[in-house]
A and B are shown apart, each in its own frame.
Chain A
């Protein structure tokens, strides 16, 4: 008999995943469509003997995470698009100080206050670094509630391993939808010993955690250290799911909720004999460029997004194709299976 399945929303699964990964500190501020996440943390973090704080603002929440992480604790915050914009200063500081942290963005419509409908239009912000400076986040994009749970746990391990902030990037559908989940395993690896953490320096040399380097050459050296780390991550931490790539003449590229819809379209098209494949990036940074560089492949690419084509750039850069087709909606619309099938049929005439 397999593990017991329980019905949970994406928001709840991320929260439960974090608690089981040993998240010791959570601070957040409510915003739709990720409210079930903060509500779950409010209820269950104290029960587990951990710290939950509803902060006075998004800015306060991310800086509390900064502090908790500097003190050596596994820490997380969550929000949705406009709230994530508010957190960018703190995210940049955390990145500069090389601190592990989990930041969850359950995307809604933008720009501005936008609306609460599902969206994927924070791709640029997440993958390019939404704050100032030369930094990167590991960005993981789950496509199911189970994967939201799994990637959150994995995210904590990656954050500790590389001393980097990891963003879990979902959309309103993923956050709100309930699906069966198996809560396997107990934790995401033991938190690594953090010799760099600020734990009180009696009988040892003080540790320094900062993103401020005024001495001549200091910042350049710190930035080169970051770049070195990012190179390693780019080499080792790319993740994707590929379907029917061997003989595909047209490859759909989609992540998160949109990938589920694309997958349905793919099976329908295959049923009609169309040689269609799918690449679903799971890590958006590092982008799974290898998936696009198979020797001898002569496929066209069609990216499907709930944005106006923010991922197209990465597909072009990875595949070397100057032309990449795009199908997307943003601001409340979800690309439909039918739309994808029709578009592919038109492309493959």
Chain B
């Protein structure tokens, strides 16, 4: 099994954290994982991205040319990375900020993640709505492991942040599971 995920958006949308939570949850599940960030000037305002590889074997390159899943949170990211979706790959797009996209051989999931996060009451949890959607769509990483990562990462004494993230994850899963 190998799952290669590119996660892209604008700086501040939480794409690095989304990748880290995914990688850490996958690690807790016993998979081999790698997380590789864009570390150039793009992390200071432009398009930012990270690459996560999950596998049952030793991981070769952490750099992804052909992705199984591409997640884009804004339109520049969609333009930059839509060509990286491999055959029979999945593209998860944030329709709040990214335009339309169709390609043969690509499964497209498009939802207004930013709007959903605003409805929950915290635009900052957009990334976790997306993660919930990804978990439900791909079923590689269990939500239980993600919740454990939330518990480990959340600053102590900030219960409302934890609650908002849990809610976001759940809303994201509901987009796929109904």
Residues of A within 8 A of B (CB): 5, 7, 32-33, 116-117, 172-173, 176-180, 257, 260-261, 263-265, 334, 336-338
- Which chain B positions have C-beta within 8 A of A7? 20, 23-24, 27, 33, 35
Query: Is there contact, CB below 8 Å, between B61 and A337?
Result: yes
Docked CA distance A33–B58 (Å): 24
| Interface pick from B36-44, B112-120, B155-163 | B36-44
Show 8 A/B contacts (Cβ-Cβ < 8 Å), sorted by A. A33-B39, A116-B39, A172-B39, A180-B27, A260-B61, A263-B58, A265-B60, A336-B61
0/1 interface trace, chain B 155-176, chain A, CB 8 Å (1 if under): 0000000000000000000000
Known: A5-B27, A7-B20, A116-B39. A173 touches B62 (CB 8 A): yes
* A179 and B39 in contact, given A260-B60, A264-B61 (Cβ under 8 angstroms): no
Q: Does B34 contact A (CB under 8 A)?
A: yes
Whose C-beta in chain A lies nearest to the C-beta of B24? A7
Report which of B23, B32, B36 forms a contact with A173, defined as CB distance below 8 A.
B36
Q: Does B65 make an interface contact (CB < 8 A)?
A: yes
Q: Is B63 an interface residue (CB 8 A)?
A: yes
Return A335 CB to nearest CB of chain B, in Å.
9
Task: Enumerate chain B residues within 8 angstroms of A176, measured Cβ to Cβ.
Answer: 36-37, 39
- B: residues with CB less than 8 A from A are 20, 23-24, 27, 32-37, 39-40, 58-63, 65
Residues in A whose Cβ lies below 8 Å from that of B32? 180
Question: Which residues of chain A are within 8 angstroms of B40 by Cβ–Cβ distance?
Answer: 116-117
| Interchain CB contact under 8 A, A261 and B60 | yes
State whether B59 touches A260 (Cβ < 8 A).
Answer: yes
A173 cross-chain contacts in B, Cβ below 8 A: 36, 62-63
Most buried by B among A172, A179, A336: A179
CB distance from B55 to the nearest CB of A (A): 10
Residues of A with C-beta under 8 A to B65:
336, 338
**Whole-angstrom distance between the Cβ of A257 and the nearest chain B Cβ:** 8
Please tell me which one of the listed residues A172, A178, A334, A337 contacts residue B34 in the complex, with CB atoms under 8 A apart.
A178
A residues within 8 A CB of B37?
A: 176
A172 to B65, CA, bound (A): 17
Contacts of B60 in A (CB 8 A): 260-261, 263-265, 337
Q: How many Å from the CB of A9 to the closest CB on chain B?
A: 8
Contact A334 B61 (CB under 8 A): yes
Q: Is there contact, CB below 8 Å, between A179 and B33?
A: yes
Chain B residues with Cβ below 8 Å from A116 are 39-40
Bound-state CA distance A33–B38 (Å) is 11
CA distance A58 to B63 in the complex (A): 30
Task: Give chain B nearest CB distance to A248 CB in angstroms.
Answer: 19
Is there an interface contact between A178 and B61, defined as CB atoms closer than 8 Å?
no
Residues of B within 8 A of A264 (CB): 60-61
Given A32-B39, A33-B39; A179-B63 close (CB under 8 Å)? no
- How many angstroms from the CA of A337 to the CA of B65 in the assembled complex? 10
Does B33 lie within 8 Å of A177, measured CB to CB? no
- Chain B residues closer than 8 Å to A180, beta-carbon distance: 27, 32-33
Chain B residue at minimum C-beta to C-beta distance from A33: B39
Known contacts: A5-B27, A7-B23, A172-B39. The answer to whether A179 contacts B34 by CB under 8 A is yes
User: A177 touching B20 by the CB < 8 A rule?
Assistant: no
List A contacts of B61 (CB < 8 A).
257, 260-261, 264, 334, 336-337
Q: Give the distance in Å from the alpha carbon of A173 to the alpha carbon of B61 in the complex.
A: 9
